[in-house]
A and B are shown apart, each in its own frame.
Chain A
Amino acid sequence: MELFIDFFVTALYSIFIQNFVLSGGLGMSEVLRAATKPRRFVMFIVMLSGFSVLTSVICRALDYIPAIDRLSPLLHFILFALVLIFLFLIVTSLLLITIRPTHKFISTLGMAALNTMVLAIPLINRQMGYSMMNSIGSGLGAGLAFALAAVLISKGLSKIADNEDIPAAFRGTPAMLLYVSLLSMMFLGLSGNGLFG
Chain B
Amino acid sequence: MPKQEKAAQNTRFAYVLLRGAVVKNPVLVQLVGLCPVFAASATLKMAALLSATFFVSFLFTQCIACLFLKKMPRFLRVAVYMLLGIGAVVAVMLLLERFDHELLGAAGIYLPLLCVHSVVSLHCEKLAVKADIKFAMQDAFATGLGYCIAFLFTGLVREYLSMGTVWGRAAYIPVKLPAFGLAFASFLVLAFFAAGLQGFTRRVFPAHAKEAALKISDTVVHVSQPQIAPPSGPVGAFTPMPQALDPAHVRSVLQDIVQHTAQDGEAAESPYEKYTAGLDGAQPDPEAPVSVDLLEIRWRFQRIMEELDQHEQDKTEHE
Listed in ascending order, the chain A residues whose CB lies under 8 Å from chain B are 23-30, 32-33, 35-39, 74, 77-78, 81-82, 84-85, 88-89, 92, 96, 103, 106-107, 109-111, 114-116, 119-120, 123-124, 127, 154-155, 157-158, 161, 169-178, 180-182, 184-185, 188, 193, 195-197
**Cβ B86 vs Cβ A106 within 8 A:** no
User: Cβ of B220: which chain A residues have Cβ within 8 Å of it?
Assistant: 158
**Cβ A116 vs Cβ B182 within 8 A:** no
Residues facing A in B23-57 (CB within 8 A) are 28-29, 31-39
Closest Cβ of chain A to B80, distance in Å, is 9
Q: In the docked arrangement, what's the CA distance between A185 and B183, Å?
A: 8
Listed in ascending order, the chain B residues whose CB lies under 8 Å from chain A are 28-29, 31-39, 74-76, 78-79, 82-83, 86, 89-90, 93-94, 97, 109, 112-113, 115-116, 118, 121, 125, 178-179, 182-188, 190-192, 194-196, 198-199, 213-220
CB within 8 Å for A85 and B35 given contacts A106-B75, A181-B188, A193-B182? no
**Cβ A74 vs Cβ B75 within 8 A:** no
**Cβ A155 vs Cβ B213 within 8 A:** no
User: Cβ of B218: which chain A residues have Cβ within 8 Å of it?
Assistant: 38
8 new A-B contacts at CB < 8 Å, known A74-B94, A123-B112: A32-B34, A114-B121, A120-B109, A169-B195, A174-B191, A181-B191, A182-B184, A195-B179
**Cβ B97 vs Cβ A173 within 8 A:** no
Closest 6 CB pairs of A and B: A25-B38, A184-B184, A181-B187, A177-B191, A25-B39, A172-B214
**Cβ A169 vs Cβ B38 within 8 A:** no
Q: Is the interface of B mostly helix, strand, loop or mixed?
A: helix
CB within 8 Å for A74 and B97 given contacts A25-B183, A85-B83? yes
User: Cβ of A110: which chain B residues have Cβ within 8 Å of it?
Assistant: 74-75, 78, 121
Closest Cβ of chain A to B11, distance in Å, is 28
CB within 8 Å for A174 and B183 given contacts A25-B34, A38-B219, A157-B219? no
**Cβ A181 vs Cβ B192 within 8 A:** no
**Cβ B182 vs Cβ A195 within 8 A:** yes
**Cβ A29 vs Cβ B184 within 8 A:** no
Contact of A181 among B32, B93, B184 (CB under 8 A): B184
